[in-house]
Structure 1
């Protein structure tokens, strides 16, 4: 998407505002197509990225540099560990994937939600949002030693992302309906974007060129599109059904976005440039987390097994769906044996295991990506956005390690 088209989108938002409509309201009556269009590949060519952003090597696959085995030599020296933030026990458990056992744990701030790899891959940040209080903080974890450092006071850090040029951390202040752009190292404030209609703003996906990001509004049933260069809200898109969007993942083509919706029990498909809903893929009960495979051919979808925010334990409907990017069809479904609550996580660096927290069962699942068989590891109270480390790729755009 060129800069001129991007500014035109902002003008459209202003014109709608002048007549009393948001982009979401303007599109509410538009029904999505009955069929789902697959995420077709971008034409091969040079992508005009924002200044400072590493070049897009393969426009048909923005995850090409996060393929199995493509570890930065420095990152390869970091110990292989799974870092699990536990929301209610206010700590991080550390799992050694070689032995499938907990080998360390340490306290962090109140209500740690995610462990987020930094853009430069050297720090893992535990986002402690303190559940709407003023005691929020970020705990840095040294990726080389696996040990925490002194916490940095930050207002309401539910989640965190990094602009693809590495110049800013974006702290997602969920309770404040605000995005705080901060220095990626010191966390000093650079500026903010208010999103007053985006109740429960929390997860994001970035466009292929880094010029915009789309955030989910968990309690508003909509999406918010943000200009990451000029730090402006471009508008909202109300989803056609469901009403509780969770994770969002950019397709390999960098233009299609997939949105997990916990009430719709499936994944919405959205065209990022036009900011329109184009389809829907049913998956399972309580659709929640989205992760690409190492070869970027499929997407793993965590279905938490419930429409409730706080439970229940051992849900019989907990499962993982596998969606083929080329066809937008579910090709496999793996139920959690005995029931469970798969939530957030990531794929191992070799692509052989999908690691997910069992949010309401106080466990972590290690899922074989070929067979779907699972190993279950007990951890702390209410594990959430775990990080798998190290990861292949040149840089991280945040969350639990979305690599490019």
Structure 2
């Protein structure tokens, strides 16, 4: 275990002048949560109950697709960062069936909390012309873009009351109305350079965000909307994606420079271990049976390439033992990045970031198929997915 460099929220606020976020309707009191049954998780008001305290993903099993969601056609939505468009893949034919322009520099396609909108986050790198493009999952077609400053990524509070737009270049989290995207308020994260990915605790009371260019993570109070503190990772220095374990308290942080996954205790905010996976560790996704996580190793420590890296691979890590049980190299080299698992759990879909392809990976054998897409595909999403609600990113379902 490494030395904890956690600073309390009060101390950090005093040093950095961090402000809390005021509620949108201050005159309306928060509902009082019902008393928790013995062994139940006391969640934040408005958050759907935790059905299985040992597995926050229990309601995202293949047989739990909501009836309304089940009517949506099966599609893979691929945002292409440099060609400023979204490609749409039909998984039945493994072919591109549509493409449409969106805003500048689309980074991720994010399912909304209520599962009825897919949002392309166009952060217009280096400008103030960012936007969110809504996509109707029933028709697969985009609607008019909503101007939003620097939306690199987006999450939703587990109670569904706010979208959290991750304004990476601004070192800021913007809480917005989850439907209209009207601003509710902001939380500044001045020490978190490159703030980008997040995971929420089992009760929804806090989230941990990665700071890509600061070699650390930030803990955020989702109830009072303030920074609780920062934790410097012991080695590495380029944290990317983050995933919470089925227990809702253990957090896994992919680090592209450390070539592996740091393990954190979210409640105590301490680093407790490390799992070596592969070169350029980047994305993390749970299997549909919640027994393993798939870790995408991009094959390079560089932010912009190279193509066809011989070190590109996917590691399969067992949740119970925190050990790598399988490794799947990309045939001929590649750059697996972000994505998700199919509704039935049989295919892992990942963007090939620097190879302009999408990988469809058989989760039983590790065999891969590549589908050409636009220029620099990034955070693709798979739709539909099982679950009651989405906390964002490429579809982290509960």
Q: TM-score, normalised by structure 1?
A: 0.91
Q: Could you tell me which residue of structure 1 aligns to residue 95 of structure 2? A: 101
User: Does the residue aligned with 1:393 lie in a helix, a strand or coil?
Assistant: coil
The alignment partner of 1:131 has SS state of coil
From 49, 55, 59, give the equivalent of 1:61. 55
Question: What are the Cα deviations for residues 254-287 of structure 1, in whole angstroms up to 9, with x where unaligned?
Answer: 0000000000000000000000000000000000
Q: For residues 17 and 51 of structure 1, do their structure 2 counterparts lie closer, same or farther at Cα, with a shift above 3 Å needed?
A: closer
Structure 1 partner of 2:110: 116
User: 1:329: which partner in 2?
Assistant: 323
How far the C-alpha of 1:70 sits from its partner, in A, is: 1.1
Given candidates 286, 289, 292, the residue that maps to 2:280 is 286
Is 2:10 aligned against 1:14?
Answer: yes
Over the aligned positions, Cα root-mean-square deviation in angstroms equals: 1.6
Q: Do structure 1's residue 175 and structure 2's residue 169 form an aligned pair?
A: yes
Is the alpha carbon distance of 1:89 and 1:21 closer, same or farther for their aligned partners in structure 2, counting shifts above 3 Å?
closer
SS of match in other structure, 2:125: helix
Give runs of aligned pairs for residues 153-172 of structure 1, distance below 5 A: 153-172=147-166
1:219 and 1:16 map into 2 onto residues whose CA distance is 19
Partner of 2:381: 387
Match of 2:27 in 1: none
Aligned length: 374
Structure 1: 5+ residue runs without aligned partners?
A: 1-9, 23-43
| Over 6 Å off, 4+ runs | none
TM-score by length of 2: 0.92
Deviations 1:179-219, CA, capped at 9 Å, x for gaps: 00000000000010000010000000000000000000000
Residues 173 and 15 of structure 1, relative CA distance in 2, 3 Å threshold: closer
2:192 is aligned to 198
The correspondence of residues 71-86 of structure 1 with structure 2, limited to 5 A, is 71-86=65-80
| SS of residue paired to 1:157 | coil
Matched, 1:90 2:84: yes
Give a deviation string over 1:14-62, Cα, whole Å, max 9, x none. 24776x799xxxxxxxxxxxxxxxxxxxxx8200000000000001000
Q: Aligned residue for 1:207? A: 201
Alpha-carbon distance in 1 for matches of 2:11, 2:62? 46
Q: Is the 8 A contact 2:275 2:323 kept in 1?
A: yes
Q: CA deviation at 1:132?
A: 2.7
Which of 278, 286, 295 aligns to 2:289? It is: 295
When residues 371 and 139 of structure 1 are mapped into structure 2, their CA distance, relative to the original with a 3 A threshold, is same
Describe how 1:242-321 pairs up with structure 2 within 5 A.
Answer: 242-321=236-315
Task: Give the deviation of 1:294 after TM superposition.
Answer: 0.3
Q: Which residue of 2 aligns with 1:219?
A: 213
Partner of 1:240: 234
Show the counterpart of 2:391. Answer: 397
CA distance, structure 1, for counterparts of residue 97 and residue 223 of structure 2: 41
CA distance in structure 1 between the aligned counterparts of 2:318 and 2:59, rounded to whole angstroms: 20
